[in-house]
Chains A and B, each alone.
Chain A
Amino acid sequence: DAGITQSPRHKVTETGTPVTLRCHQTENHRYMYWYRQDPGHGLRLIHYSYGVKDTDKGEVSDGYSVSRSKTEDFLLTLESATSSQTSVYFCAISERASGGDTQYFGPGTRLTVL
């Protein structure tokens, strides 16, 4: 399972509060990603990181920020949670193999914003 853990696994919060989700990996992968999964949309990329302190935006980055101060941890912060951010959030790493890179996913965090 590529050694990826996410915490918390479930969270209920209120509109306007900040929320931080953590992704932790144990295999020293350089690339890490945050996606959100919503019915009818598949997975959409929020932010990604290509190294410590190196991050970039994905297609749905508004309202989210990320940080990566260590190789093993990639944090996703909702600065002021809104109901539209109720979703399941998946972290992924990219593993290099012959021919190309393959992404493997963590167990997910189900976030409910009331």
Chain B
Amino acid sequence: AQSVSQHNHHVILSEAASLELGCNYSYGGTVNLFWYVQYPGQHLQLLLKYFSGDPLVKGIKGFEAEFIKSKFSFNLRKPSVQWSDTAEYFCAVRGSSNTGKLIFGQGTTLQVKP
């Protein structure tokens, strides 16, 4: 069965620090990969997605992620975080044969201190 693992459950950073959130998945075939963000009290918003092509994907608000197929990873990065990046971040995977169903990781709570 497919699964997604986000190793960091709670991350605390100071403003201007660099961010990397880990995401690993288990699935043997072609995958689509997503990162969503959920600001406090709000719904999930799409940060970025990978379908094919360049494994380095740029998203909104200065976020990027790199797909490393050999490591089954899709880590999220941002060179310099802001207080407004405080939120919960979810990695999600969809197998190409999976009729659109997404499998989500457990989420990582990011707290940025001003």
Contact = CB atoms under 8 A, between A and B. Distances in A.
Given A48-B100, A100-B32, A100-B51, A106 B106 contact: no
Nearest to A106: B43
A42 B104 contact: yes
Nearest to A103: B102
Contact of A107 (B32, B43, B104): B43
Contact of B101 (A58, A99, A102, A104): A58
B99 interface: yes
Size category of the B interface is 20 to 34
Nearest to A58: B101
Contacts of B4: 42
B34 A43 contact: no
A83 to B, nearest CB: 22
Contacts, number: 56
Chain A interface mostly: strand
A50 interface: yes
A101 interface: yes
Given A99-B51, A100-B32, A90 B43 contact: yes
Interface in A43-72: 43-45, 48, 50, 56, 58
A43 B107 CA distance: 9
B46 A42 contact: no
B46 A43 contact: no
Interface of A: 31, 33, 40-45, 48, 50, 56, 58, 90, 94, 99-108
Interface of B: 4, 6, 9, 32, 34, 36, 42-46, 49, 51-52, 90, 92, 94, 99-102, 104-107
Q: Sorted from nearest, which 3 A-B pairs have the closest CB atoms?
A: A99-B51, A42-B104, A100-B51
